[in-house]
Amino acid sequence: MTSDIAAILAIDGIATGAVYALVAIGTVLIFTVTRVIFIPFGDIAAFTALTLAALDAKRFPGTGALVVVLACLATLIEIISLIRNGELRLLPRALFFYLAVPLAVVGIAWLTMRIDPPLAVRLVLALMLITPIAPLLDRIVFRPIADGTVLLLLTVSVALHFALVGLGLLFFGPEGVRTEPLTSLSTELAGVLISGQTMLIVIAALVFSGLLYLFFDFTLVGKSLRATAVNRTGSRLMGIRPARAGTIAYLLGSLMAGVSGILIAPVNTVFYDSGFLIGLKAFVGAIVGGMTSYPGAAIGAVGVGILESFASFQSSALKDVIVFSLLIPVLIWRSLASLHSEEEIEE
Amino acid sequence: MTRLHVQLAAVAALACLALAPLVLSPFSVTLMNYIGIYSLVAIGLALLTGVGGIVSFGQAAFVGIAAYATAWVSALNGHSPWLGLLFGVALTCGVAAILGVVTLRLQGHFLSLSTVAWGLAIGFLFGNVEGLGHFNGISSIPPISLGSLALVSSAQIYYLIWGIVALVLLLGYNLLDSRLGRAMRALRGGNTLVESLGINAFRIKLVTFVIAAFLASLSGWLYAHMSRFISPGPFDASMGIEYLMMTMVGGAGSLLGGVVGAAIVTLLKNSVQDYLPLIAKGASGQLEIVAFSALFILFLQWARQGIVPSIARYLPKTRRERPQPAPPLPRRPQPAPGELLLKVDGAERRFGGLVAVNNVSFEVRSGEILAVIGPNGAGKSTMFNCLTGALRVNKGEIVFAGRLITRDPQSRIAKAGVARTFQHVKLRPRMNLLENVMLGTYSRTRTGLFAGAFRLNQREEASARHEALLQLERVGLGDKPFELAGSLPLGNQRILEIARALAADPALLVLDEPAAGLRRQEKLRLAELLRSLRADHLTILIVEHDMEFVMSLVDRIVVLDFGSKLCEGVPSAIRSDERVQEAYLGGVA
């Protein structure tokens, strides 16, 4: 391997890693606030790419129907739980958030479609359509078992991933898509050609991590999320509702996953089931950060991207074997590094 | 319900199974075969996940290793499938042992995540290793032959599959009811508990892990020779998760639950395939997995326990007989009264900059009750953890019965004759009183895996059971040995822990804040019990901060304050010591 090839592989790896980093940060965000290891974020990223491709092809994406179905389900469940708890006065609020807002989003997207919008608007539409999915799934799937063990939540999350893959095949079909590049610029750095798309990916990853940092450190909502992550009961006593914090975390997380989906679509062909490996590799990155640290997760995800890039140069068939085998030493290191007292497994 | 009823039910179930191929259609028999094959994996997972608390997402990889191994031996190299069985089992168990040694020390969800990692890595290997047919798989695998009879039709291999399932269930239940099985069932109580009983927790985890892999390998062997064709698909990550679903649906703690879960998941998938086209024409293939996942999520939302435990609650309880007298277990040589038993010399333990225990020295002599007391934060618990091996001292020496134990792990200190109780009671709430106390006899007995599974060591088991009953009677809990430990009030749970410690035939009994949270009556009973134990020449070390409880009970007191020893003496001297009063009350009252 010459240094040229190494440089190209490294740049390629950083770009892939930056995409994983966005998903990884979302994963950490959800885990710290809700204790859910949300495997389906990869699917959200893939769905965004597929949604964008459908919009590009002037078809209304299946994501719209998915949002409508989920909104109806979530509203139904919310109404039932309100009736059970005798809190019907909260009904208008529930209808607004769980039914009106998602339906309005789908409606706006549907109307805007007719006027053949430019790329920038299509990007916004794709993100708008994708962000309600995870919060609605949270209401339907995770809220009823919010007190369960991490393992129960993980198992449910994995099952949810399979459901989403099935829905993805239904809504988007088996064909892969590759969207047009967002920029055709390219530049040369130390003799290596870097495409504008690669730079865009890295810049977007940096900008969004930076924004997230500002959000957590300088806004009240961000601080309330951090408080929930540290201690649910304590933050509840301070007037923070963990459920609301969870919804915000899911919104932010899906936004990041959506951005990563948009960024990866021009580089790699995305299929309805591409999300699993994106999600898992982001997750590996998140584990490197101990599931708690955002910079750690981002660095870990970039590391996974670089590793994958070099591994696929050595043996493209075995690249996934290499990536996941190397997770085990990382886990051992993390487990030794984390000084948590042992917990009894609940009966 | 008596044992006879259980046996009758088992015989009836076997008869139904034996007659099934005669009445069912060939398609249903094939379905039953799949259920049997999946059951083996699910039973292994029930043992690993439900009993041992180790959640594995990677069992499909083990199934795959055995299936590919036997296909390689029989289809590609032309040897007998039986050789394939040997090779497959050996390879799978070998891989599992290596993975286990590497990963089983991981904690909490790190361990489960590592199973995702190796499950995926091995799953990707099947399609990518040279000589294993890549994604086209391996076809024309020969059927299993018994003598000259080749098991070609589904009704023929049916009996082999379900024979193995029945045998595995029988041996599995035998194992769970043996010494090693009880140790497995204790794993969920955490490492500290398991190690304090003289059990090497890591070894037990490894054994459980390899057993689960062994069952998966049997399943893989049967699968390869039943379907006569293998490809990477059935061994990928999603199948690993499906096995976990089967186990959870059936009820993770129950071996029978593995079979029930495998049956429900397989039949459900099958009926989803049948009925979905009626509801949604054209899209059925895609909706299948959606419907299936949705059902599974609903199931976990509404019945986390699983089916078998939910039903078992409504069955009449099995009536069991009180253990009969049996020859006693061997006892360890006890030290002579007054002999030096424990010597702590200059012990020091730091946590970063904080010195929790600073140059503490004291001695315990055989036959006395010594209390270590001190206000909150005095370093009592740290001292206690150093004595029992849960923590290591940074400096100084601890000698027990003439043996240096400073660097020994917990389980070895426990085996040497130090039995302990816990400030926050650590019992196995779903095991009955007798079984909890029998856990204490672990280091005095030696029944292994095979003897346990085949019930070869019933004499030792009877002795252990009788010993446990004797200890229950000694502490006054002998009237209901089959009650579940979780249903006892706190005071009795503490006393049950003492019985468990006594069952280990200790030379030194170490009690961590035994009076914490007890009502007055309960404290009095506890003090009375401890006095009676002293009368039996047992040496007791108590770490406690309830002064009243300690003063009236113990022979000598060591007072700790801010990590250092303040003073040492008989209770009356300690009571009048000004330094002690100052430490507790913040000044001379």
When pLDDT is averaged across residues A1-29 and rounded to a whole number, the result is 85
One domain for residues B88 and B222? yes
pLDDT of residue B414: 92
Q: Say whether residue A287 is in contact with chain B using an 8 A CB cutoff.
A: yes
| Encoded tokens for B68 | 């590919």
Q: Residue B441 half-sphere exposure, CB side, CA atoms within 13 Å?
A: 28
Q: Mean pLDDT across the stretch A208-232? A: 81
* Amino acid at residue number B209: F
Burial of residue B53 (number of CB atoms within 10 Å: 0-12, 13-18, 19+)? buried
Distance from CA of A194 to the nearest CA of B (A): 31
CB neighbours of A99 closer than 8 A, spacing ≥ 6? A71, A72, A75
- Continuous segment of H or E residues that includes residue B275: helix B255-279
In the chain, the amino acid numbered B266 is T
Amino acid letter, residue B441: T
Among B109, B192, B285, whose Cβ lies nearest the Cβ of A151? B109
Give the residue among B531, B538, B576 at the shortest CA–CA distance from B557.
B576
Indicate yes or no: CB of A166 within 8 angstroms of CB of B128: no
- Tally Cβ neighbours within 10 Å of residue B112: 24
CA separation for the pair B28, B412 (Å, rounded): 54
If you compute the radius of gyration of chain B from its CA atoms, what whole number of angstroms results?
Answer: 28
Residues B305 and B235 in one domain: yes
Residue A345 forms contact with B (CB below 8 Å): yes
Could you list the residue range(s) of the whole structural domain that residue B218 is in?
A: 29-312
User: At residue A197, what is the residue type?
Assistant: Q
Q: Is B186 in contact with B199 (CB distance < 8 Å)?
A: yes
What is the rounded CA–CA span in Å between residue B18 and residue B12?
10
Confidence of residue A342 (pLDDT cuts 50, 70, 90): very low
**Structural tokens at position B309:** 């435990």
Top pLDDT among A188 and B346 is at B346
3-class SS string, chain A? CCHHHHHHHHHHHHHHHHHHHHHHHHHHHHHHHHCCCCCCHHHHHHHHHHHHHHHHCCCCCHHHHHHHHHHHHHHHHHHHHHHHCCCHHHHHHHHHHHHHHHHHHHHHHHHHHHCCCCHHHHHHHHHHHHCCHHHHHHHHHHHHHCCCCHHHHHHHHHHHHHHHHHHHHHHHCCCCECCCCCCCCEEEECCEEEEHHHHHHHHHHHHHHHHHHHHHHHCHHHHHHHHHHHCHHHHHHCCCCHHHHHHHHHHHHHHHHHHHHHHHCCCCCECCCCHHHHHHHHHHHHHHCCCCCHHHHHHHHHHHHHHHHHHHHHCCCCHHHHHHHCHHHHHHHHHHHCCCCCCCCCC
Residue type, A272: Y
Contact criterion met (CB < 8 Å) for A344 and B189? yes
Distance from the Cα of A114 to chain B's closest Cα (Å) equals 28
Domain range annotation of chain A: 3-173+195-337
Q: Does A156 touch chain B (CB under 8 A)?
A: yes
Tell me whether residues B286 and A166 touch, CB distance under 8 A.
Answer: yes
Section A173-198 average pLDDT: 75
Looking at the complex, does the CB of residue A167 fall below 8 Å from at least one CB of chain B? yes
* pTM of the model as a whole: 0.86
Q: A240-294, pLDDT tens digit by residue?
A: 887 888 888 899 889 989 998 888 888 888 888 888 888 888 888 888 777 777 8
Question: Helix/strand/coil (H, E, C) string of B239-264?
Answer: HHHHHHHHHHHHCCCCHHHHHHHHHH
Q: Which residue has the tokens 């994406």?
A: A61
More confident residue, A208 or B538: B538
A163 to chain B, any CB pair closer than 8 A? The answer is yes
* B445 plus B580 within the same structural domain: no
Task: Please check the confidence at residue A175 and state whether its pLDDT lies above 90.
Answer: no
Cross-chain Cβ contact B113/A332 below 8 Å:
no
Angle at which helices B458-475 and B490-502 cross, to 10°:
130
Same domain, B496 and B510: no
pLDDT reported for residue A310: 87
The list of chain B residues with pLDDT below 50 reads 589
User: Is the same domain home to B216 and B296?
Assistant: yes
Beta-carbon separation of B290 and A163 below 8 A: yes
Burial class of B253 by CB neighbour count within 10 A (0 to 12, 13 to 18, 19+): buried
CA–CA distance from B403 to each of A262, B395, B407 (Å)? 67, 17, 11
Helix ranges restricted to H, B511-577: 520-535, 547-551, 571-576
User: Which has more pLDDT, A315 or B32?
Assistant: B32
Residue of B248, B289, B298, B426 best to disrupt the A interface, most CBs of A under 10 A: B289
Domain for residue B367, yes or no?
Answer: yes
* Together in a domain, B358 and B500: no
Beta bridge pairs of residue B448: none
Same domain, B156 and B46: yes
Domain annotation covers residue B149: yes
Among the three residues B473, B505, B537, which one is the final residue of a domain in this structure? B505
Q: Looking up tokens 């594995």, which residue turns up?
A: B56
Q: What is the dihedral of CA A252, A258, A263, A265, to 10 degrees?
A: 170
Q: What's the count of helices (H) and strands (E) in chain B, helices before strands?
A: 23, 12
Across the interface, whether the CB atoms of B248 and A155 are under 8 A apart is answered yes
Query: Does A210 touch chain B if contact means CB atoms closer than 8 Å?
Result: no
Task: With beta carbons under 8 A apart, name residues in chain B contacting A321.
Answer: 121, 124-125, 128
CA distance A141 to A218: 31
Closest Cβ opposite residue B293 in set A162, A321, A331: A162
Closest Cβ opposite residue B297 in set A156, A321, A335: A156
Shortest Cα–Cα distance, A154 to chain B (Å): 10
Domain-located, residue B575: yes
How high is the pLDDT of residue A338?
A: 61
Residue B484 pairs in a beta bridge with: B432
Question: Can you give the pLDDT at residue B285?
Answer: 62
Interacting residues of A145 by C-beta distance below 8 A, sequence separation 6+: A152, A153, A156, B300, B301, B304
Bin B359: left if φ > 0, else alpha if -120 < ψ < 50, else beta.
left
The last residue of one of the domains, among B505, B534, B560, is B505
CATH number at residue B238: 1.10.3470
Contact in structure between B331 and B537 (CB atoms under 8 Å): no
Q: According to the model, what pLDDT value does residue B114 have? A: 84
First-last CA distance in chain B: 64
Q: How far is CA B97 from the centre of its chain?
A: 18
The domain boundary residue, chosen from B470, B505, B540: B505
Question: Which amino acid does the sequence have at B285?
Answer: G
Helix (H) or strand (E) holding B103: helix B81-103
Question: Do B114 and A328 count as a contact with CB atoms less than 8 A apart?
Answer: yes
Q: Are B512 and B423 in contact (CB under 8 A)?
A: yes
What pLDDT does residue A334 have?
Answer: 75
Residues of B in contact with A304 (CB under 8 A): none
- Amino acid letter for position A9: L
pLDDT value at residue B379: 86
CATH number at residue B345: 3.40.50.300
Geometric angle at alpha carbon B252, from B246 and B258, rounded to 5°? 45
- Nearest chain A Cα distance for residue B155, angstroms: 33
Give the residue on A whose Cα is nearest the Cα of B292: A163
**8 Å CB contact of B108 and A150:** yes
* Strand pairing class (B403-404; B395-400): antiparallel
B475 lies in the same domain as B583: no
| Chain A residues 8-37 with CB within 8 Å of chain B | 37
State whether B394 and B493 are in the same domain: no
What amino acid occupies position B278? L
Count CB neighbours of B516 within 10 A.
15
**pLDDT band (50, 70, 90) for residue A341:** very low
CB of A286 closer than 8 Å to CB of A194: no
- Same domain, yes or no, for B90 and B194? yes
Contact A324 B118 (CB under 8 A): yes
Task: Quote the distance between the C-alpha of residue B438 and its chain's center.
Answer: 14
Instruction: Give A284's contacts in chain B (Cβ within 8 Å).
Output: 117
β-sheet bridge partners, residue B539: B508
Question: For residue range A61-73, what is the model confidence (pLDDT) as tens digits?
Answer: 888 888 998 999 9
Number of domains in chain B: 3
CB contact under 8 A, B292 and A165: no
Measured CA to CA in angstroms, residue A290 lies from A35, A127, A230, A277, A336 at distances of 13, 29, 15, 20, 11
B317/A142: higher pLDDT: A142
Which residues lie below 8 Å from residue A219, measured CB to CB, with a gap of 6+? none
List beta partners, residue B281. Answer: none
C-alpha to C-alpha distance for B185 and A234, rounded to whole angstroms: 34
ipTM summary value? 0.84
Q: Please give the pLDDT value at position A343.
A: 42
Q: How far apart are the first and last CA of chain A?
A: 54
Same domain, B174 and B61: yes
